[in-house]
Every structure is written in C-alpha cells, then in structure tokens.
Structure 1
Amino acid sequence: MIPQVLTIAGSDSGGGAGIQADLKTFQELNVFGTSVITAVTAQNTTGVQAVYPMSASAVESQLASIGNDFTISAVKTGMLFDHEIIEVVAAAVRKYGFRKLVVDPVMIAKGGASLLQEKAVEALVQKLIPLAKVITPNIPEAEVLTGESIRNMEDRLRAADDLLSMGAECVILKGGHAEESDAWDLVVRGTEKYVVKSNRLHTQNTHGTGCTFSAALTAELAKGKTIRESAYLAKCFIYQAIKQDLHIGNGHGPTNHWAYQESARHLTGGGVIVEPVVLSRHS
C-alpha cells in the first residue's frame, strides 16, 4: 500500500511553505499527502500580509474526514495558530491513533510575522508535544519553548534534553540559525545523540525550509524508516532544495522541491547520495 500521510498546517498563498510545501515534498518522496488547513495566509516572499485562522470546529471536521477514511502512516503539524486548534489536533491524534507524529513548532515566518499566539505555546507544550514521535524546532523556537538562551552546542544539548522531558520521543534541534560554517542538526533520542550536517549555503531563498525538512522526515517515517534514516534523508532533501534554489520573488524566495529527485536521477544506480551531508556522532 502506498504510504498515506497528513499535514496539519496553514496555507501559504506564495506556495513556498505550509501546506503547499508539505504536499510538494510528499509527492516528490512518493507518499500520498492529505491535508488539514488551520489558517489561510495572504503571503508572498516579502512577508505575511494577513492571517485568517480556521475555527476549531472547521479543523475538527477536516480531521474527522481524514481519520475516518484514510490509513495514515505519519502526521506532521506546522502552523497551528491558537490553543483551541492545538487541543483539537491533540484530541484527533489520540482518537484516530496517529502514531508517528512530527511536530514542527512553527512560530514566526521568515519575514518576522508571528504565526502562533502566545497562549498557544502552553497548549503546545502540555497537549501536543507529549504525543510527538519527533519535534523539530529551530534554535529560536527551542528558546521560546524552553525559556533558555541557546548559543553553543552545550546549550543545544541542554535544550534538547528539556524538550525531551516534555514528552517527545525524539528532538531534532535544527541549526540553520547558528553561526558555524556547517549547518548542524542535533538529534537526541534518550541517551542517543548525534548530528546530521551539511555545508552551510549562503542565500536568502530559504522560505519554507522548516516545513520542507519536517515533511521529508514525515514521509520517510511513513515508509517505515528509522528516525536516523529519516533525518539523514530529510537533510539531503532540504540541502538540495536550498542549493538549487529558484530565485522567485523579491524577498525570501522558496526552495526547490524537485531538486533532490533531479539530483538523484543523475547518479549511477539512482543512489541517494548528497556529498556535503555527513551523519556523525556527537557527544
């Protein structure tokens, strides 16, 4: 059976992030994507002009439509906007037995617009993160969730442990906002700790990178891959998406969702190899 996956997130009219980025990623990685829209945004590469949230009942109805018909192998959440929507999503995860939940705690858009109400952070911590198989915050999001300043790897390890204590099975603390010459993503699952890294690419065209990474991770988990395998593939996918960017728009342009498959087609035997990506242990 073709793996069926679900994204619960906001709609990006610019097509670079949110529901649109997730579905593009799912398609590229050969899983069937379904969606629940939590908000409609008027958005382009220069920023978010307006946000129109769905009602909690509208989100609940969409979740029921998916849960009562599809066999969902993995779920990811993105922009959830407010505490009522988070509570509805958490209830649906339990009701429909969505076992592989990836929580991408989307809080701020690339242009700086807030995408999560302040009261919703508490609901995220108390209601949704305890149900998560993997949570994928970037450094600013991890700082909000833990209340800690993150400046180095030691801080990241401490923050990851704090996030695990909230109930998630695994934390992937993304390093795109750090200052190292390489982009390090820290993966912590119990006592297991390692990093997945790539060369750092210097470009402003990074709109939707977090959504795309977590969608790729979700797609691979849905196929039965391990967290380690899924994190590695997701890093390969987003590295190529950034490296082969599209130069669209006047601001933070979108990534290239077909770049990974295009690169793979040119490799002997169709192997999944991305040179700059290294999976190594970190202690």
Structure 2
Amino acid sequence: MKRYPVILTIAGSDCSGGAGIQADIKTISALGCYAASVITAVTVQNTRGVKDVHAIPPEIVRGQIEAVMDDLHPDAIKIGMVSNRTVVSEIVDCLQKYRPSCVIYDPVMVSTSGRRLMDDIVVEQIKNELFPLVHLITPNLDEVATLTGHKPTTLAEMKEAARKLSNEYHTAVLVKGGHLNGDEMYDVLHEHNTTYVYKESKIESSNLHGTGCTLSSSIATYMAKGCRLNEAIDKSKYFISQSIAAAKELNIGSGNGPLWHFHRNNL
C-alpha cells in the first residue's frame, strides 16, 4: 500500500476559500500529498477583507491536534492564524508532547486589508513560547514590523531583519518582500548563519489572496517530501509564481481574488 506524505495545517478557516485552511488544503493536494487540518478560528471574510473572527475553544483545538497526531502521524506541520492566548498554549503543549520533525509557522498577525489579528500580549507569548519550537517562521514586512518595531523598506533591511530574528529566536526566518516597491520581488532566508536571497520579477495581479498561506504550506509539503529547507523554498517560490500567473485573469470576487493552483508544470 502506498503512503503519501501527510501535512497537518493548523490555521483559521476562510469562508471565501482563498486563504487559511482552505488555501493550505488546496496547496498540499495540488502538490500530491495528503492534507489534515485543525481549525483554530472561523473568520467572516471574502476577497474584500476580514469582517469578524470567532476563535474555536482551546480544548477543541487541542482535541483536533491530538486526533490527527495520534493516528495520521504527520510528516510536517504548518501553523497559520492563532490569535488566542489559550489556543497558543495548547498548540505549544502539543508540540512539546509530540516533537514533530518539521514545523513551519506563518505568523498571521495582520490581514492583507490591514486588520490586526492579535494583540501585543499574544505576540509576546508567541515569540517566547512558540518560536523556539518551530523550524521556520515566514513573516511578511508588516509582521516583521510587529515583531521588531521596524518595517524593512530595502533588501538590506530585509537581510538584517531576517538575521536578527533568526539569531534572537534560534530558528530559520524567511522574510517575505512581496510588498516592496519596484519591479523585482525579494524574499530573504536566514538559516544557520547563512543568508539566501530569492529574486523574481513581480507579477502584477489583483488576485493575491492567500499568498502567504500557500507559500508556507507549500514549504511544509516539500519538506515532508524530503527537500532541504533552501530547496523547499526554491520549489515553493516557483509554485507560487505559477499560481499567481494562473490566477491573473481569474474572476472570483470583487476584491483581492485567490490564487489558482490547478497547474501541473514541474511541481
């Protein structure tokens, strides 16, 4: 019997299907692996923005994690939106209990529409308790500002932010520069005192909803397939570019539309 790599996504639900759990499951499935999910929150959102967030009770979040971990034994875990202190504590306790070999954390702290999704107390808890248990964090520029107090505006500042966060929290850090001005897009990885820069031409599109979710779940999937981190990010960057290009002419919703993962080129 064939066993496909299992990736567990722990994240919020997006009823419009473009981000969160829905984007993660689509990504993991498109890349040929099996997706399991733990829902941390139900959001009221669409392509125009987030209107409300309802947190799932912490004991239910923990129950979901234990049910999956005890039976499916995931090869990698991706963590997305967690906005409740008690939920963070339950996730931390479960990571300490199961000690998974690969955990990717996308610190969803600010929505694309600019809504702050967690308060300062939760941010501090995440930095002190969750960061030490993960293998990669993937903040965008706004999230870097939340974590460091300064929003990078240049490639040099992105490199410095990635180095500083990696050294402070003893984990790999991928700073995402998709919101930098200019025609080129840079992402910066700092891992084991080494900095890697990923450069691509920016694709102009109004359909970019769920890009961060897709990238982090793609990295987790490639790691579960046996790729090293740098290789997993490189492959994930290609997958994201293909998904953005495929969604460029997509007409779903009247705001920031979703990516399109139904392409099969060199996955």
TM over 0.5: yes
Q: 1:253 aligns with which of 252, 257, 264?
A: 257
Q: 2:134 aligns with which of 132, 137, 153?
A: 132
Residue 91 in 1 paired to residue 93 in 2? yes
Name the CA distance, whole Å, in 1 between partners of 2:93 and 2:262.
Answer: 34
Partner of residue 166, structure 1: 168
Q: Secondary structure at the match of 2:169?
A: coil
Cα distance, 1:221 vs. partner? 0.4
Cα distance, 1:194 vs. partner? 1.4
Name the CA distance, whole Å, in 2 between partners of 1:230 and 1:242.
Answer: 18
Q: How has the CA–CA distance of structure 1 residues 166 and 8 changed in structure 2, closer, same or farther, with 3 Å as cutoff?
A: farther
Q: Secondary structure at the match of 2:208?
A: coil
Q: Secondary structure at the match of 1:220?
A: helix
Name the CA distance, whole Å, in 2 between partners of 1:35 and 1:103.
Answer: 14
Cα distance, 1:56 vs. partner? 1.1
Give the residue type in structure 2 aligned to 1:170: A
Give the residue type in structure 2 aligned to 1:24: K
Name the CA distance, whole Å, in 1 between partners of 2:137 and 2:168.
Answer: 10
Partner of residue 179, structure 2: 177
Q: Secondary structure at the match of 2:199?
A: strand
Partner of residue 197, structure 1: 199
Please give the per-residue CA displacement for 1:87-106, whole angstroms capped at 9, x wherever unaligned: 11111111112120101000
Q: Secondary structure at the match of 2:75?
A: strand
Segments of 4+ in structure 1 off by > 3 A?
A: none
Name the CA distance, whole Å, in 1 between partners of 2:245 and 2:118.
Answer: 29
Please give the per-residue CA displacement for 1:64-101, whole angstroms capped at 9, x wherever unaligned: 11111112111011100122211111111111121201
Name the CA distance, whole Å, in 2 between partners of 1:82 and 1:240.
Answer: 34
Moved more, 150-159 or 122-131: 150-159
Output the aligned Cα RMSD: 1.3
Q: Secondary structure at the match of 1:52?
A: strand
Residues 42 and 56, structure 2, Cα contact 8 Å, conserved in 1: yes
Partner of residue 114, structure 1: 116
Q: Secondary structure at the match of 1:203?
A: coil
Name the CA distance, whole Å, in 2 between partners of 1:72 and 1:27.
Answer: 14
Partner of residue 216, structure 1: 218
Name the CA distance, whole Å, in 1 between partners of 2:197 and 2:167.
Answer: 20
Indicate the percent of aligned positions where both proteins have the same amino acid.
Answer: 37
Name the CA distance, whole Å, in 1 between partners of 2:170 and 2:80.
Answer: 16
Q: Aligned residues, how many?
A: 263
Q: Secondary structure at the match of 1:258?
A: coil
Please give the per-residue CA displacement for 1:108-130, whole angstroms capped at 9, x wherever unaligned: 22222222233210111011111
Name the CA distance, whole Å, in 1 between partners of 2:196 and 2:251.
Answer: 33
Unaligned runs of 5+ in 1: 265-270, 273-283
Cα distance, 1:42 vs. partner? 1.4
Structure 1 segment 14-29 matched on structure 2, within 5 A = 14-29=16-31
Unaligned runs of 5+ in 2: none
Cα distance, 1:168 vs. partner? 4.1
Q: State the TM-score, normalizing by the size of structure 2.
A: 0.95
Moved more, 218-227 or 189-198: 189-198
Partner of residue 146, structure 2: 144
Cα distance, 1:229 vs. partner? 1.0
Partner of residue 208, structure 2: 206
Partner of residue 34, structure 2: 32
Please give the per-residue CA displacement for 1:250-269, whole angstroms capped at 9, x wherever unaligned: 0010011223x2xx1xxxxx
Name the CA distance, whole Å, in 1 between partners of 2:97 and 2:221.
Answer: 22
Partner of residue 49, structure 1: 51
Name the CA distance, whole Å, in 1 between partners of 2:178 and 2:123.
Answer: 22
Please give the per-residue CA displacement for 1:9-49, whole angstroms capped at 9, x wherever unaligned: 00000000000000000001111110100000111101112
Q: State the TM-score, normalizing by the size of structure 1.
A: 0.89
Name the CA distance, whole Å, in 1 between partners of 2:46 and 2:86.
Answer: 27
Q: How has the CA–CA distance of structure 1 residues 17 and 168 changed in structure 2, closer, same or farther, with 3 Å as cutoff?
A: farther
